[in-house]
């Protein structure tokens, strides 16, 4: 019998921002692992680490995967290559590593870039988290989708025509990655007569959470962590 002495890589969903919106399983693992890793901007704090900061026991090794802030559609693959190597060294030495993932690891999460590099060679476990979709619906105090509704998730980074097609064929739409694409999305919603059925949420469940009708949003100030929820048959907000 071969006994594996390598560590396990955990993709740990840490929820959308409120430190209390972490699962008991993620909390247990977060406190138990000797190594944590997390995506971070080139400079400054990692959102995922900030979310769990009050839960950290101290004394853990930390790997910050710092992403260059380029306007490219693709993440910096070399950063993941390097991180996979560093994480792999810990795993090979028998140390478990938890990668902190904002929201849920497999809902548009960058954890997939490590998963595809490491799953063939190491034990990997994904711990699901509360995603921004449900967090935003809760912030809006309105159902995300109900009964036979078709729910569609649309990255606002798509071309305008593609977004319009999706908006026309779904009952409920979550537009994610809004940020600097707010103006484009707003024009499409206006042209389809859907603006009254759309609402904007920024930093859902964080202390900085803001919920607004689209008319009240300043396009230049829309951050990356924002979402627009549209419900064709829902309540008109104005």
| Positions that interact with ligand SAM (CB under 6 A) | 16-17, 102-104, 107-109, 131-132, 135-136, 176-178, 201, 203-206, 224-227
Nearer to ligand SAM, 49 or 203 (CB): 203
Shortest separation between residue 175's beta carbon and ligand SAM, angstroms: 8
Shortest separation between residue 20's beta carbon and ligand SAM, angstroms: 14
Shortest separation between residue 75's beta carbon and ligand SAM, angstroms: 10
Nearer to ligand SAM, 7 or 39 (CB): 39
**Of all residues in this chain, which one has the CB nearest to ligand SAM in the complex?**
103
**Using CA atoms in the order 196, 135, 218, 110, what is the torsion angle rounded to 10 degrees?**
-120
Shortest separation between residue 195's beta carbon and ligand SAM, angstroms: 18
How many other CB atoms sit within 10 Å of the CB of residue 54? Answer: 8
How many other CB atoms sit within 10 Å of the CB of residue 39? Answer: 25
User: Residue 185 is encoded by which pair of tokens?
Assistant: 């999305």
Do the strands 35-41 and 61-67 form a parallel or antiparallel pair, or are they unpaired? parallel
Nearer to ligand SAM, 182 or 225 (CB): 225
Nearer to ligand SAM, 90 or 131 (CB): 131
Residue recorded with tokens 């900061």: 53
Shortest separation between residue 4's beta carbon and ligand SAM, angstroms: 29
DSSP state letters, 66-106: EEP----SS--HHHHHHHHHHHHHHHHTT--EEEEESB-TT
Q: What b/e sequence results for 154-183 when a residue is b if at least 16 CB atoms lie within 10 Å of its CB, and e otherwise?
A: bebebeeeebbebbeebbbbbbbbbeebbe
Nearer to ligand SAM, 6 or 142 (CB): 142
């Amino acid at each position: 019998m071969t006994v594996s002495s390598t560590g396990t890589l955990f993709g740990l969903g840490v929820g959308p921002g409120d430190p209390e919106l972490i699962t008991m399983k993620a909390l247990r693992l977060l406190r138990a692992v000797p190594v944590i890793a997390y995506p971070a901007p080139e400079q400054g704090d990692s959102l995922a680490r900030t979310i769990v900061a009050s839960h950290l026991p101290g004394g853990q090794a930390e790997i910050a995967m710092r992403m260059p802030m380029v306007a490219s559609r693709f993440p910096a693959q070399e950063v993941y290559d390097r991180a996979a190597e560093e994480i792999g060294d810990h795993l090979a030495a028998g140390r478990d590593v938890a990668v902190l993932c904002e929201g849920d690891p497999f809902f548009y999460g960058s954890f997939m870039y490590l998963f595809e590099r490491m799953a063939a060679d190491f034990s990997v476990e994904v711990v699901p988290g509360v995603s921004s979709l449900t967090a935003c619906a809760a912030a809006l105090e309105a159902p995300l989708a109900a009964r036979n509704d078709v729910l569609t998730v649309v990255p606002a980074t798509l071309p305008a025509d593609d977004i319009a097609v999706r908006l026309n064929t779904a009952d409920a739409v979550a537009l994610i990655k809004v940020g600097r694409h707010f103006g484009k999305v707003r024009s499409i919603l206006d042209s389809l007569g859907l603006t009254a059925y759309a609402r904007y949420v920024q930093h859902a469940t964080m202390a900085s959470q803001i919920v607004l009708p689209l008319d009240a949003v300043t396009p230049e100030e829309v951050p990356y962590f924002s979402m627009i929820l549209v419900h064709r048959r829902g309540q008109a907000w104005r």
